[in-house]
Homo-oligomer: A and B are copies of this chain.
Amino acid sequence: MEDRFEISLLLDFYGNLLTPKQKTIMELYYNEDLSLGEIAEINDTSRQAIHDLTKRCYKLLLNYEEKLSLLSKYNIREEKYKIALEDIKDRFKLSDEAINYINKLFEDINNS
Protein backbone atom coordinates (compact mmCIF):
# COMPACT_ATOMS: atom_id res chain seq x y z
CA MET A 1 0.00 0.00 0.00
CA GLU A 2 1.45 3.34 -1.06
CA ASP A 3 1.83 6.05 1.53
CA ARG A 4 1.00 9.31 -0.27
CA PHE A 5 2.72 11.40 2.37
CA GLU A 6 5.91 9.35 2.09
CA ILE A 7 5.86 9.65 -1.70
CA SER A 8 5.40 13.40 -1.40
CA LEU A 9 8.51 13.56 0.82
CA LEU A 10 10.48 11.34 -1.58
CA LEU A 11 9.49 13.76 -4.35
CA ASP A 12 10.94 16.63 -2.32
CA PHE A 13 14.22 14.79 -2.00
CA TYR A 14 14.57 13.14 -5.41
CA GLY A 15 12.14 14.96 -7.73
CA ASN A 16 15.02 16.66 -9.54
CA LEU A 17 16.35 13.27 -10.61
CA LEU A 18 13.15 12.64 -12.59
CA THR A 19 12.59 14.27 -15.97
CA PRO A 20 10.75 17.62 -15.78
CA LYS A 21 7.62 15.99 -17.22
CA GLN A 22 7.71 13.09 -14.77
CA LYS A 23 8.28 15.46 -11.87
CA THR A 24 5.37 17.69 -12.88
CA ILE A 25 2.96 14.77 -13.21
CA MET A 26 4.04 13.26 -9.89
CA GLU A 27 3.57 16.61 -8.18
CA LEU A 28 0.11 17.07 -9.69
CA TYR A 29 -0.88 13.62 -8.49
CA TYR A 30 0.75 13.48 -5.05
CA ASN A 31 0.95 17.13 -3.99
CA GLU A 32 -1.91 18.84 -5.83
CA ASP A 33 -4.20 15.84 -5.51
CA LEU A 34 -5.44 15.91 -9.10
CA SER A 35 -6.99 12.65 -10.36
CA LEU A 36 -5.32 10.44 -12.98
CA GLY A 37 -8.10 11.43 -15.39
CA GLU A 38 -7.54 15.15 -14.86
CA ILE A 39 -3.78 14.80 -15.36
CA ALA A 40 -4.37 12.68 -18.49
CA GLU A 41 -6.55 15.44 -19.93
CA ILE A 42 -3.98 18.15 -19.22
CA ASN A 43 -1.28 16.03 -20.92
CA ASP A 44 -3.49 14.96 -23.79
CA THR A 45 -2.90 11.29 -23.05
CA SER A 46 -4.70 8.31 -21.51
CA ARG A 47 -5.47 7.70 -17.85
CA GLN A 48 -3.57 4.42 -18.19
CA ALA A 49 -0.43 6.20 -19.43
CA ILE A 50 -0.46 8.50 -16.42
CA HIS A 51 -1.11 5.57 -14.10
CA ASP A 52 1.88 3.68 -15.55
CA LEU A 53 4.09 6.76 -15.28
CA THR A 54 3.25 7.29 -11.59
CA LYS A 55 3.98 3.63 -10.83
CA ARG A 56 7.27 3.76 -12.69
CA CYS A 57 8.35 6.99 -11.01
CA TYR A 58 7.36 5.69 -7.59
CA LYS A 59 9.73 2.76 -8.12
CA LEU A 60 12.47 5.18 -9.24
CA LEU A 61 12.01 7.24 -6.07
CA LEU A 62 12.16 4.11 -3.88
CA ASN A 63 15.29 3.04 -5.72
CA TYR A 64 16.97 6.41 -5.05
CA GLU A 65 16.00 6.22 -1.39
CA GLU A 66 17.45 2.73 -1.19
CA LYS A 67 20.75 4.07 -2.53
CA LEU A 68 21.01 7.49 -0.83
CA SER A 69 18.67 7.21 2.21
CA LEU A 70 18.04 10.98 2.25
CA LEU A 71 14.58 10.63 3.77
CA SER A 72 15.68 8.18 6.44
CA LYS A 73 18.73 10.33 7.26
CA TYR A 74 16.48 13.37 7.55
CA ASN A 75 14.25 11.47 9.98
CA ILE A 76 17.25 10.31 11.99
CA ARG A 77 18.49 13.91 12.28
CA GLU A 78 15.05 15.05 13.45
CA GLU A 79 15.03 12.32 16.09
CA LYS A 80 18.55 13.17 17.23
CA TYR A 81 17.61 16.86 17.46
CA LYS A 82 14.82 16.07 19.90
CA ILE A 83 17.03 13.90 22.10
CA ALA A 84 19.85 16.48 21.96
CA LEU A 85 17.52 19.28 23.02
CA GLU A 86 16.31 17.36 26.07
CA ASP A 87 19.89 16.52 26.89
CA ILE A 88 21.08 20.15 26.61
CA LYS A 89 18.12 21.38 28.63
CA ASP A 90 18.77 19.00 31.54
CA ARG A 91 22.53 19.28 31.48
CA PHE A 92 22.84 23.06 31.47
CA LYS A 93 19.53 24.00 33.15
CA LEU A 94 18.48 26.17 30.24
CA SER A 95 15.32 28.28 30.32
CA ASP A 96 12.32 27.42 28.14
CA GLU A 97 13.09 30.55 26.15
CA ALA A 98 16.61 29.34 25.40
CA ILE A 99 15.36 25.86 24.49
CA ASN A 100 12.71 27.25 22.15
CA TYR A 101 15.29 29.47 20.52
CA ILE A 102 17.77 26.62 20.04
CA ASN A 103 14.95 24.41 18.75
CA LYS A 104 14.13 26.92 16.03
CA LEU A 105 17.78 27.07 15.00
CA PHE A 106 17.96 23.27 14.83
CA GLU A 107 14.83 23.10 12.67
CA ASP A 108 16.04 25.85 10.38
CA ILE A 109 19.37 24.11 9.90
CA ASN A 110 17.89 20.65 9.30
CA ASN A 111 15.65 22.08 6.61
CA SER A 112 18.56 23.79 4.81
Summarize A's interface: helix, strand, loop or mixed.
Answer: helix
Closest to A75 in B: B112
A68, A94, A112, most chain B CB atoms within 10 A: A112
Copies of this chain per assembly = 2
* B112 adjacent to A88 (CB under 8 Å): no
Q: Which residues of B contact A109 (CB under 8 A)?
A: 77, 80-81, 84, 106, 110
- Among B68, B92, B98, contact of A17 (Cβ-Cβ < 8 Å): B68
Q: Which residues of A contact B (CB under 8 A)?
A: 13-14, 16-17, 64, 67-68, 70, 73, 76-77, 80-81, 84, 87-88, 91-92, 94-95, 98, 101-102, 105-106, 108-110, 112
